[in-house]
A and B are shown apart, each in its own frame.
Chain A
């Protein structure tokens, strides 16, 4: 039984919309609306969803870059939202983030050495020659030549910048790495390099990954388990093989059939009608109901609960129980 590294319980984040002369709250964006899942030590947990589903907000909540409206996030058993500044500081060493945009993620006026070494500075982990050596080690680990650590970000390509971002994430010897679309901005041939690197590092250091992406093929390649998110809620969760081969939720089914496969033309594709509605003050009932081809009357009334239908396979749907 694998140890639970991360436990997310009923997490919610609502962004208020202010209006009127006195700027009172008139509505709220339900960015994350009651999310529940656990991440086991050493696994790669995938989080998929299209734009606006709330996955990036969820990532920020887990790293406590923003405060929740409600809910609990337990890291190694401790509720991170109840920790003091100081305790949270220490925890930040164990949780690191890899960002989507390698071009924006590095301060253009700081050398690579400064950027990669920043965690060491902030937490006082190393100084002087020892610090320089650690930086060189980190840079080498991600496949770059340490010779260049005093250069500036603009002198490197997109793939190299992403490697530098990964090196920075490793500087504090983290246990949990949150990767927010780490390869979406990169060229196709560079993606393979980064994905292989992430796998290699996990084999060597035993990291736990929370892999967030909208690209289902990459998620299948990288992850052990996957959760599907729609409009702030999880609609399905389970082992990658199960969810991809026999998806239970209609949205997951539509997603799977929408992915184009190189070399093949899909015959039976489920084409969803309409577009994703806004997460502002959602109507009652199942969020997916307006676009669902299996919609029943109950779907407009009650919000389906997220329940374990098969071993380790959860779904939130009235019709798939």
Chain B
């Protein structure tokens, strides 16, 4: 296995607003190994997109990375200058966003936009670039790539445009692909196509993927390991089967029980009472404690650190061992 490709240590990204400080990411620890797919799961507002933007150092005013380290290939990205980051963005680390139609410039052809990315990161002649564009569009499954590269984004369907985005992201030998909800806006059958594509490409390019989303099913299709985020922190971190079969954090468990499943039949879904806290004023101690059915005294006073409880399984909860017993009674 060796060194992890990406190692995020105690990342803190805050947004300084007139009303107060929004602690969007408040001490996040993540690791991605080479060739691995890590899923980052959480509801809206939990900070997962902010983590992605922090890795790319794309956080703008009024936000700022205020602490922590992001180690990529042995170097701390937070020490790098903007010029150095620009070389990395789109090259070694590239990103695919949720809405492909707004990620592409509507007045340039798809081919020219991919070519631009290649131009910025690689030394190649014009005709070489064109060949690369055709090749990469073909790899992502765009039919007749030589013709289609001359088309404009609006002439592509949603699914095809997302493929083109993935092509652009991989065109410069990315080592790490960050995909922020890449299939959320797509139909189920198109989503299946894109996920299959990502599986194939991952093997072919030997790239690591950070897959961000809220759909646990999508995460299951692609990911080796999963990190669950809540209110700016990672509260559980384990490999795929462990997360689903042996989740130890009450939030993870509750989340799994609250979604309707094709394979499990229940009459009533488990409801997590209350709402996601506002990050300007997070609750003291464990951020989940106001909504947690097992909360005890210590939970409102101290913030549980991410503790290793098994092989590659970490949980941020003081009560995980006692909860396990309670859970077995539940079923």
B319 at the interface (CB under 8 A from A): no
- Taken together as a complex, chains A and B put the C-alpha atoms of A275 and B191 apart, in Å, by 11
Tell me which of B51-59, B105-113, B261-269, B323-331 binds A: B261-269
Tell me which of B15-23, B87-95, B251-259 binds A: B251-259
Within 8 A of B (CB), among A237-271: 244, 254-266, 269, 271
B144 at the interface (CB under 8 A from A): no
Contacts of B191 in A (CB 8 A): 258, 260
From the candidates A196, A263, A271, name the one contacting B271 in the complex (CB within 8 A). Answer: A196
Query: Looking at chain A, what size class is its interface with the partner chain?
Result: 35 or more
B217 at the interface (CB under 8 A from A): yes
Chain A residue with minimal CB distance to B268? Answer: A196
Given A220-B262, A260-B215, are A189 and B187 neighbors across the interface (CB < 8 Å)? no
Structural contact, A157 and B275, CB atoms closer than 8 A: yes
Contacts of A261 in B (CB 8 A): 217, 220, 261-263
Tell me which of B128-136, B170-178, B192-200 binds A: B192-200
- Taken together as a complex, chains A and B put the C-alpha atoms of A266 and B217 apart, in Å, by 10
Structural contact, B220 and A262, CB atoms closer than 8 A: yes
B34 to chain A, nearest CB (A): 21
From the candidates A50, A51, A218, A244, name the one contacting B260 in the complex (CB within 8 A). Answer: A218
Structural contact, B269 and A192, CB atoms closer than 8 A: yes
- Taken together as a complex, chains A and B put the C-alpha atoms of A192 and B215 apart, in Å, by 14
Within 8 A of A (CB), among B5-51: 43-44
Chain A residue with minimal CB distance to B266? Answer: A221
Structural contact, A263 and B241, CB atoms closer than 8 A: yes
B85 at the interface (CB under 8 A from A): no
- Taken together as a complex, chains A and B put the C-alpha atoms of A304 and B21 apart, in Å, by 61
Given A259-B262, A260-B217, are A276 and B187 neighbors across the interface (CB < 8 Å)? yes
B235 to chain A, nearest CB (A): 14
A173 at the interface (CB under 8 A from B): no
Structural contact, B275 and A159, CB atoms closer than 8 A: yes
Classify the interface of chain B: helix, strand, loop or mixed: helix
Within 8 A of A (CB), among B228-251: 240-241, 243-245
Structural contact, B261 and A188, CB atoms closer than 8 A: no
Contacts of A188 in B (CB 8 A): 43, 214, 255, 258-259
Chain B residue with minimal CB distance to A159? Answer: B275
Contact with B along A194-216 (1 / 0, CB 8 A): 01100100000000000000101
Contacts of A189 in B (CB 8 A): 43, 254-255, 258, 271-272, 276
Q: Which one of B189, B219, B275 has the highest number of Cβ atoms from chain A below 10 Å of its Cβ?
A: B189
Q: Which one of A214, A261, A272, A276 has the highest number of Cβ atoms from chain B below 10 Å of its Cβ?
A: A261
Structural contact, A50 and B189, CB atoms closer than 8 A: yes
Structural contact, B193 and A271, CB atoms closer than 8 A: yes
From the candidates A196, A214, A216, A275, name the one contacting B269 in the complex (CB within 8 A). Answer: A196
B190 at the interface (CB under 8 A from A): yes
Q: Which one of A244, A262, A276 has the highest number of Cβ atoms from chain B below 10 Å of its Cβ?
A: A262
Structural contact, B276 and A187, CB atoms closer than 8 A: yes
Contacts of A269 in B (CB 8 A): 192, 196
Within 8 A of A (CB), among B134-173: 157, 159-160
Structural contact, B43 and A260, CB atoms closer than 8 A: no
Contacts of B43 in A (CB 8 A): 187-189
- Taken together as a complex, chains A and B put the C-alpha atoms of A188 and B181 apart, in Å, by 14
A246 to chain B, nearest CB (A): 14
B221 at the interface (CB under 8 A from A): yes
A193 at the interface (CB under 8 A from B): yes
A217 at the interface (CB under 8 A from B): yes
- Taken together as a complex, chains A and B put the C-alpha atoms of A307 and B241 apart, in Å, by 43
- Taken together as a complex, chains A and B put the C-alpha atoms of A254 and B157 apart, in Å, by 20
From the candidates A192, A259, A265, A272, name the one contacting B272 in the complex (CB within 8 A). Answer: A192
Contacts of B196 in A (CB 8 A): 269, 271
A191 at the interface (CB under 8 A from B): yes
B313 to chain A, nearest CB (A): 15
Q: Beyond A258-B188, A271-B189: 15 further Cβ-contacts under 8 Å?
A: A187-B276, A188-B214, A188-B259, A214-B188, A217-B262, A221-B269, A257-B192, A258-B191, A260-B195, A260-B215, A261-B220, A262-B216, A263-B245, A272-B193, A275-B157
Which residues of A does B touch, CB under 8 Å?
Answer: 50-51, 157, 159, 187-193, 195-196, 199, 214, 216-218, 220-222, 244, 254-266, 269, 271-272, 275-276
For the complex of A and B, list the 3 residue pairs with the smallest distance between their C-beta atoms, beginning with the closest.
A260-B217, A263-B244, A221-B260
Q: List 6 A-B contacts (CB under 8 A).
A: A188-B43, A191-B269, A261-B220, A264-B263, A271-B189, A276-B187
Which residues of B does A touch, CB under 8 Å?
Answer: 43-44, 157, 159-160, 187-193, 195-196, 214-221, 240-241, 243-245, 254-256, 258-263, 266-272, 275-276
